Structures are given as structure tokens and as C-alpha cells.
Structure 1
Amino acid sequence: MKQVHIFCENTRSGHSYPMGTSLFEISKDLDIKTKNTVCGAIVNHQVKELSFCVVKSKKIEFIDVSHPDGIRMYIRSLIFVLYAAVKEVFPHVELRIQKGISNGYYCELNGLERVITDADIFEIRQEINRLIAQDIPFIKKGMLTEEVVDLLIKQGLEDKAHLFEQQGHLFTSLYFLGDLGNYFYGHLLPSTGYISNFGLVPYFEGLLLQIPTPADFNQLYKLEKLDKLFGIYQEHKDWAEILNVSTISHLNNFTLNKRGGDIIKISEALHEKRIAEIANLIHERNGDIKVVLIAGPSASGKTTFSKRLGVQLAVNGMHPYQISLDNYFVDREKTPLDEHGNYDFEALEAIDVEFFNQQLIELFEGREIQLPKFDFNRGKRYMNGDRLKLNKGDILIIEGIHGMNPNLLPHIDKKNTFKIFISALTQISFDEHTHISTADNRLIRRIIRDSKYRSYPASETIKRWPSVRRGEDKNIFPYQENADIMFNSATLYELAVLKKYADPLLKMVLENQREYIESTRLLKFLSYFKPIDDEEIPPTSLLREFLGGSSFIY
């Protein structure tokens, strides 16, 4: 029998196997040891399931659930099992995975028509445990798309069925767990027995599916009741449902019916209305509020939001002045170091908090100050002659990642501040069971912006992204509930617009680059959207910060 050569990254060694040998067989033969059970592999920088059979020479790296793609496989498989369990316990109830929150997944049981009880949750959890104990394989089958669509509609998964229908493929892959078919836009674990830890708890009016931490799979993420974040999610979910654009297939219908412009106009109007409402709230407290603090994660649109808020404050007769926290960095030699000995520019200690507070106090007392400027090349702060004095009706807008951190303004009375947290909380889902990650939305925004304004290739942005996310988890998200108001910068239509800009950038990532794994995943994700032209997006839109064509000066 013909032999194929493979190089295993885990053992750093080459081997030959008969053509058609599965990754599972290779992992057993090589006795691959990982922190947790091997659940898949990276083959020539593409994610593959253990059932994948090798027919050509390949470079293989076996992964477990501590790998980003391994945990994705785990989550998809767990959601499939949850779906099967709900189907068994409540045959006439529709499970909907609404959003990612508190490092878990918020679920609703549509059609239950009563409050979910602890007994309900216990029964579902028991059924999940029964399915796990049976170690049932997830079977992938290629089928005629029309057969897949019919099967999904019979199971009540109409949004998923319509999305498959819109793709126009003759054949489609579907996964089966027993007689139940489903699809989660990515790879699954070999079987239910690979699921080792999960949680299912009441959360607001639904359930929270909890997942383990990749660092320690015996531990679940800590449960947090994020009232403000949940509230903003629900508000935008209501908007999406009113407009009937809660899933990709709904959005595609607008595009296919040449109504993409309608969604753009409505989305932008909702943004403008919300920003005006926030400005009105600030104006109502004009006697007290002297500083508006704006914070949020990378690529959330903070800068454009700040400028649009300034316009609305001006409409209310106020005079906004924008100050950047970046100009209050300590000199380079005083910058704290991270655990790797590198400068930690995202730590609060990288900001001269005392000097910043001193200047604010002087401004509030009616004194004139010299505004600092930071020279990033020299790593030094200096005064360039710009001066500022606040008069009646003047208000400061300060944008920076530490805006929600209570230690930023230890000497300023809380009644003098108004805090706004901004993030791109994606409003639509793939379908009934698959939400769209807000981090993916922001990553795509950043890839486009980095290419346009910094000449970074997509591979460089993808490479830096894990570090960006770690910084957000440490310095931004823990303080988001301190906000007075949250603003969602995502729009219903944006991924259909971003697709045109992101696709060519992602296709430039080469197969021999590690970032090819992520670029391939994002390309597949965007492939489900029918493109919307951006010509109707106004020059004041938050999206213009990433696409270009903004009327604001940055």
C-alpha cells in the first residue's frame, strides 16, 4: 500500500503511514501526550477532526481543549448535546443560544411559556450527563442540500435551513448525534464522551451554559451577573427582532431583495438616537458633570463615538473638549514591566495618575493648565504650549482604556464624572444555536483599519490579537459594569459590508504562516454573508473609522 509522509510537531519527528490512515490512529500510534485529551489537529495550518484521513504528505500538530481551536470544538459539541437534551426533555420547546456573556452562553427556551425552574435545569443537566456517559459519536455526513434543508425544517431549525439554502451549494455537510442533525460552522469532538466539564445555571430569564477554563479544565469560569451588559444586549436584541434581522439569513434576505440601504439607514438612525439620548442625560446633570470618561476594547469605535457625542453635547449648548489619556503616560523608564519583562503600556501604572488628577482639579477650580503631549518615539512627556481653561458650559471628554477603572480618578468626586463603556456587541446570530462572537467582529474591524492606516498585513493583526485580548481581559472588561451607560457600536449590517474589505486581506495570509488557521476560519465565517455596498453609509458613521471616508478628523 502506498505510504504518505507526515511530520508531527508534537514529537518533532517524521513518520510514514499507509494512505488513508486517520489522525486518531496516528495520535494513538505516536502516543501523543497533551495537557488534556487530544481532541483534534492542525494539519498544514488548517483545523481537522481526528476522523480526518491523511492521503498526502502533511505537517500535523495534535491539539487539546487548551488550544483556541480545541476549545471551540468543545463548545460546539457541548451546545449540540445541550440541544439534544432539551429536545428530549421538552420536545416542543425551541432552544436559542442568544449570546456569549460571563464567559458562557446565554440560552432561552422559547415556547416553555413559564418560568424555568431548578427542576427543569436539573432534568436537562441529567440528560446531558446521560448522553456524555453513552459516548455517542458525532457523525459527519455529506448530503444533498435540499435533503439537509428538509431535515432541519422538520426539526424546527428554520433559520439554519434558510442559511444553507442561501449558500447555493449542491451538497452540504451535516453532523448527527443519533437521529438529530445539526451544524455549527466548524469542527466537533469525536464523541460526547470527550465532554468532561460544564455548568448549567439559571441566568436572568433563561439559562447560562458554563464552560471550563482552558488553563484548568477542572474549573468553570466564575459566574458574574452582568446587569448592564445584559441590558444593552437585550435592547439591541429587541431592535433586531422588531426589524426581523436577528440572524444572517434574515440579513441576507434584505440584501437579496435590494434593501440593504434600508438596514443601513435604520441602524445609523438608531445609533444617532442613542447618542443623542446619552448627551441629553449628561446635559440634565450639567451642574455636576465635568468629565465624560469613555472606555472600551480595541476596535470598538471609541474615537468616533467620542466625536459624535461631542456634536450632540454641542447641540445641547455645551462646549466639549477632548483629552487623550495617552498624553499622560509616564516616561518610558518609569513604565512598569509585564511578566515577560516587556513594557506594559496597558497597565494603569503606565499612566501618571497623580499628575492627571492634579490637572483636572486645577481645571475644575477655574485655573488654566498647560496640556501635556507624549512623544512615543523618545518615550518622554513634554509641554508643547497648548493651554486649556474651562468656562461655564465646558465639559471634558476623556477617551482611554482605563476610563471605567475607579483608581484612575481617586481625587475626583464621582458626581463630577459620567462613564460610558462602548463595545461592538454583535446583534445578529448565525442561526438558532450559533451566536457571533463580538471579538470576531472587532478583529475584522481591526484587520481592515490596520491595513488601511498602518499598512499592517492581516497576518500581523491576527498575530497580535491574543495579546490584545489578554490586555482587555485584565484592564478593561473587569470594570465594564462601573459604567453609567453602555453603548453598542455594532450595527445590524456591518459584517455584510466589512466582508468586501476583509476577504482580500485574509486571502493574502499564506498557508505556511500560523495565522492561516485564523484567516481561514474568518473567511469561512464571512462567506455566509451576502455583501452590502457601503455607499449609503454616512460619513459620520462609526464604521467610517475603519473603512475610511469619515468627515471627522482623527
Structure 2
Amino acid sequence: MKPIEIFCKNTNSTHLYPMGTSLLEISKDLNIKSKNTICGAIVNHKVKELSFCVVKPKHIEFIDVSHPDGVRMYIRSLIFVLYAAVKEVFPHVSLKVQNGISNGYFCELPGLEREISASDIFSIKQEMKALIDANIPFVKKGIVTSAVIDLLVKQGLDDKAQLFEQQGHLYTHLYFLNDWGDFFYGSLLPSTGYITNFGLVPYFDGLLLQIPRRKHFKQLRKIELHPKLFGVFQEQKDWAEILNVSTVGGLNDFTLQGKSGDIIKISEALHEKKIAEIANQISARNGNVKVVLVAGPSASGKTTFSKRLGVQLAVNGMRPYQISLDDYFVDREHTPKDEQGEFDFEALEAIDIDFFNKQLIELFAGKEVRLPKFDFHSGRREPNGATLKLGEGDILIVEGIHGMNPGLLTEVHNGNTFKIFISALTQISVDEHTHISTADNRLLRRMIRDFNYRGYRAADTIKRWPSVRKGEEKNIFPYQENADIMFNSATIYELAVLKKYAEPILKMVLENQPEYIESTRLLEFLSYFKPISDLEIPPTSLLREFLGGSSFVY
């Protein structure tokens, strides 16, 4: 039988192997060196498990847990171990992975029907360690879907079963850890023994599953308490209960029943109610608030939120004026640079703090000022913006990523400010064990907006995304708890709407492009959603900022 030609990126060499050789066998034969244990591979720009066998010529790159896809494999496998441990210790208790927070994953134990004790956590953790020490393989099996559904229901994984029922596939694959079956969209590690570090600690009324640092895997990520953010996630749970939708399967059920319009109307009404409540809080401060700061990460909907808040403030008898921090950029030659020598437009020093504060003080003193306008083509700030003079009842809404940073307003008393942090905190999960990353939600929004309005293809947006995320981790998220209030700009229905727009854009990414890895992952994720039409989304919706059709002028 003719051997298969394999090119290995790690060794930059080509080799011949018999058809059916596994990636694990190839990695051992090539003696791949890595800082951490090899856990999988990128094969023709698709993530594959080490058990994958080659039958055609392939381009292979072996990855460890420091690679983004290696991290995902590690987390999925760790959650499976946590689930198996919970079922071994408490057979009648379920595991619900709610969301990523505080550098870990917040989990609940439905069915426990009492507070989680330190003894409970110790028992679960000891069982996890026993499963890891036993080095049990994660076995992937292709099974008739009807049998998969029966097994999942028997284990109490009704959300997963519902999702499989809706997909309509004859066969599907399921992972097994001993006798426990589970499903994840994405690959797992070869065995439990590959899990070398984790933590499990109490967190509010649940558990926090701790994961290692990417570049220092022997260290766990530091826990940072985020009470305000946690409160928003709890509010999100309440909204999901109001709508009776907490998972993709539940949302699909409404869509299949022709009731998606109801979900849209209620979701948008909840947004409007929340924005009105925020406007009422600002108004209740008896005119002390002079400036409202709106900050948040990329594609969180800051601009539309600011405009909708302005409408609600006007309803309360105030006259809002909007200012963008982008117009206060320093001239290009003064822009700070990052460690790669590239302009760092997301650094606080990229803003002319002194000039910004000077204009605010003059406005609060009743003086007329000419606002600047930054020309992004020339890289210079021009004094050709509108003139502005504040009177009684006037209020400024300042939108920009640095709004929560205490270094922004150096001359303004804190009592004269109201800070709002906004982000798209996805309100549903794929199933009991698979939360939806808020970063994925924002990436899809940004991808659609970039394609429709900025001339970027999906590959361009995907390529820039790690840099965007790095800037957010450095300049935005560390200050989010400084907010007076947080606003969740995500809606329960939106991913089912984004699907129609995102899929054709993602399919334009070619197999020979490095971004193909991420595009295929996102396409698989979106495949679980039944599409929802955007016809009933109102023109004032935050989603219109990305889809088009907004009644606001940007």
C-alpha cells in the first residue's frame, strides 16, 4: 500500500507513513519537542485529536496546551472530568457550567438542594484527582443518534438530548469517560492523565473551576472577584427564566414553533426597560451628574447604547450631548507603541488626557468650546468639530474604551460622573456543560460589521482578533468593576440571527489560510442554531449597529 506523505510544521520536514497511522504515533516517531505535553494537532488547518488517523497527505502542526485550541481541548476535558466526578460523588446531582468569570468557570449543582459545603468541594476534587491519576482515555464513538439521545436522557442531560433531537442526524459521535457519555463541539485530550493542573473553590452560591495560565501552566489563573459582573450574569439568568430559554435547544424549540418573534419582542423590551432604569438613576442624582461615561470592549454596542440612553435621558427632561473619546486621540507621531513597535491606539496614553479634561472643565463652567474631530486618514486632530455650550439640564455622554479607567478624568470630581460598562454577555448556553463565550458573540458581531461597512473579510477580522483581545485584557477589563452599573448588550435570540449573516462570510475563508481553523470552529458552533429572521428586530435595536437598518445616525 502506497505510504502517505506528511509535512510536519514543527520539524519543517516531510515524512512518509503507512495509511491509517495515528497522529499520536507520528508525534512519537518524530519526537516532537514542546514546553508542555503535546495534546492535539492542527491538520490542514483543522483541529484534530491525537487518535486521528491519516489516510491522505496532510499538513500537520502538533500543539500543546499553550496554543489557543490546546487550551480549549484542556478546558473541555477538565469539564468532563468535573462532570464525571460530580456524578460519582452525588449520583442525583447535575452539573451546570454557567459562564466564564474571574479567570475560571462558574458552575452550579442543580439537585443538591442545599448550600455547597467545603466538604462537598473536597469530595468532588478528590474524585477528579482519582480520575486523573487513573489516566483514563477519552473514547470517541460514532453511535446511532437515537441511542445517543436515550443515553443522554438517562444521565439527566436533557439539554444535550434536545439539541441532538433537533439536528436530525442519523449518526453522531459521543465521548466516553468510563461509562459516562458526554458531547462537546470540539476535540478532547487523549486521556485524563493529560490534565496536570486545576482548582475547585467556592464562588458565591456555586463553584469556580480554575484553569492554568497559558504561558505558565504550573500556575493557576489568579481569582479576581467580580461582584458586579456576577450580578449581571445572575440578572441574565432571570431574563432567561422570563423567556423560558436558557439553552440553544430551548431557543430552537421556540423557532420551530414559529414563536421567535415573541422572543425578539420581549428581549428588546427588557433592554429598553433596563436603559430606562439607568436613565432614571442618573436623573435621580439631582443634576450632580455632568458626564456619563460609557465603556466596553469591541463590538459591545457602545454607540447605539449611548444613543438609546440619550433618548431616555431626554424623556426625563435632560438634554444629552454625545462625545467620542476617539476624537481626543493624540496626533499619530505622539501615539505610543506596543512591544512589537506598532501603534497602540488602545493605550490610555493614545488619548490627550490634559486637553480632554480642560474642555470638560470649561464646559462645566458654562464656557463655549469647539470640539475636536480626529482625522483617521491624516492621523491628526483637527479643531473643526461642533461648538458646544452646556446649559441647565444638559449632560454629556462620553463613549470610549477608557471610560472606567481612573486615569481618564484627572480634573473632574467623581460625584459628577456616572460610569456604565457595557458588554455582550451571552445569555444562553449550548447545553449543560458548554457555555457560550462572550468573546465569540462579539467576534461574530464585529466580523459582520467589518464585512458590511469596513471592507474587511472574515479572515482579516479573525487575524486581528487576538490583538484586540490582548488590548481589552490590558486596558478595559481590569477597570470594569469601577462602573456604577453594568449593561448586558446581548440578546437571547441574536446568535440565531447572526447565523444568516456570518455563515457566508465565514465560508469565504479558504482552507489554505491560517484563519480557517477559527472559521470552521465558528461554523460548527453556529450549525446548532435554527436561523431566526431579523425582520422583527426594531430599528433602534443594538443589533442594528452590526446588521444595518438602524434608525440612528452613526
TM-score normalised over the length of structure 2: 0.99
In structure 2, distance between residues paired with 1:461 and 1:68? 17
Uncovered stretches (5+) of structure 1, i.e. residues with no partner: none
Superposed CA deviations along residues 93-143 of structure 1, whole A, max 9, x for unmatched, are 111101111121100011111111111111111110000000000000000
**Worse-matched range after superposition: 115-124 or 260-269:** 115-124
1:242 shift after superposition: 2.6
The superposition leaves residues 265-314 of structure 1 with CA deviations (integer Å, 9 ceiling, x where unpaired) of 00000000000000011011142000000000000000000000000000
> In the TM superposition, what are the counterparts of 1:132-531 in structure 2 within 5 Å?
132-384=132-384, 386-531=386-531
Deviations along 1:25-80, one digit per CA (max 9) or x if unpaired, are 00000000112100000000000000000000000000000111000000000000
Residue 88 of structure 1 aligns to which amino acid in structure 2? E
Q: Secondary structure at the match of 2:405?
A: coil
SS in 2 for 1:536: coil
Q: What is the deviation of 1:460? A: 0.4
Map of 2:57 onto structure 1: 57
Superimposed CA distance per residue, residues 235-287 of structure 1 (whole angstroms, 9 cap, x where no aligned partner) = 11111023210000000000000001000000000000000000011011142
CA distance in 2: counterparts of 1:137 and 1:242, whole angstroms: 41
Distance 1:239 1:518 in 2: 30
Distance 1:403 1:366 in 2: 23
- Report the equivalent of 2:15: 15
Q: Distance in 1 between matches of 2:273 and 2:385?
A: 38
Structure 2 Cα separation of the partners of residues 228 and 15 of structure 1: 54
Paired residue type of 2:88: E
Counterpart Cα distance in 2 of 1:374 and 1:542: 25
Distance 1:306 1:358 in 2: 23
Distance 2:173 2:128 in 1: 24
1:512 alignment partner AA = N
SS in 2 for 1:129: helix
Which whole-Å deviations, capped at 9, do the CAs of 1:135-176 have from their partners, x for residues lacking one? Answer: 000000000000000000000000000101100000010000
Q: In the alignment, residue 205 of structure 2 is paired with which amino acid?
A: E
Amino acid at match of 2:226: L
Q: Distance in 1 between matches of 2:48 and 2:307?
A: 45
Distance 2:548 2:31 in 1: 52
Cα separation, partners in 2 of 1:456 and 1:393, compared to 1, 3 Å: same
Runs of 4+ in 1 over 3 A off after TM superposition: none
Could you tell me how far 1:386 is from its partner in structure 2? 2.4
Q: Which amino acid in 2 is paired with 1:480?
A: Q
For 1:431-475, what per-residue CA distance to the aligned partner results, in whole angstroms no more than 9, with x for missing partners?
111100000000001110000001111010000000000000000
SS in 2 for 1:320: strand
Normalised by the length of structure 1, the TM-score is 0.99
Whether 1:72 and 2:94 are equivalent positions in the alignment is no
Identity %: 77
Q: Distance in 2 between matches of 1:366 and 1:318?
A: 16
Deviations 1:382-423 (CA, angstroms, capped at 9, x unpaired): 211621110000000000000000010011100000000000
Give the Cα–Cα distance (whole angstroms) in 1 for the partners of residues 162 and 450 of structure 2. 34
Could you tell me which amino acid in structure 2 is paired with residue 32 of structure 1? Answer: I
Report how many aligned residue pairs link the two structures.
Answer: 554
Give, in whole Å, the separation in 1 of the partners of 2:176 and 2:502: 32
Amino acid at match of 1:82: L
> Which residue number in structure 2 is paired with residue 539 of structure 1?
539
Quote the Cα distance in structure 1 between the aligned partners of 2:286 and 2:299.
30
Offset from partner CA, 1:182-213 (integer Å, 9 cap, x none):
01111000000000000100000000000001
- Residue 430 of structure 1 deviates from its aligned partner by 0.7
Of 162-171 and 365-374, the range deviating more from structure 2:
365-374
Q: Secondary structure of 1:233's partner? A: helix
Please give the alpha-carbon distance, in whole angstroms, between the structure 2 residues aligned to 1:484 and 1:456: 35
Q: Which amino acid aligns with 1:301?
A: G
Query: What letter matches 1:462 in structure 2?
Result: I
Q: Post-superposition shift, 1:2?
A: 2.3
Do the aligned residues in 1 keep the contact of 2:106 with 2:203 (CA within 8 Å)?
yes
Comparing 327-336 with 394-403, greater Cα deviation is found at: 327-336
Structure 2, unaligned runs of 5 or more: none
Q: How many angstroms apart in 1 are the aligned matches of 2:327 and 2:22?
A: 56
Letter in 2 for 1:474: K
Assess if the C-alpha contact under 8 Å between 2:373 and 2:385 holds in 1. no
Q: CA–CA distance in 2 between the matches of 1:135 and 1:224?
A: 31
Rounded Cα–Cα distance in structure 1 between residues aligned with 2:341 and 2:445: 30
- What is the Cα deviation at residue 372 of structure 1? 1.1
Q: For residue 121 of structure 2, what is the aligned residue in structure 1?
A: 121
Letter in 1 for 2:549: G
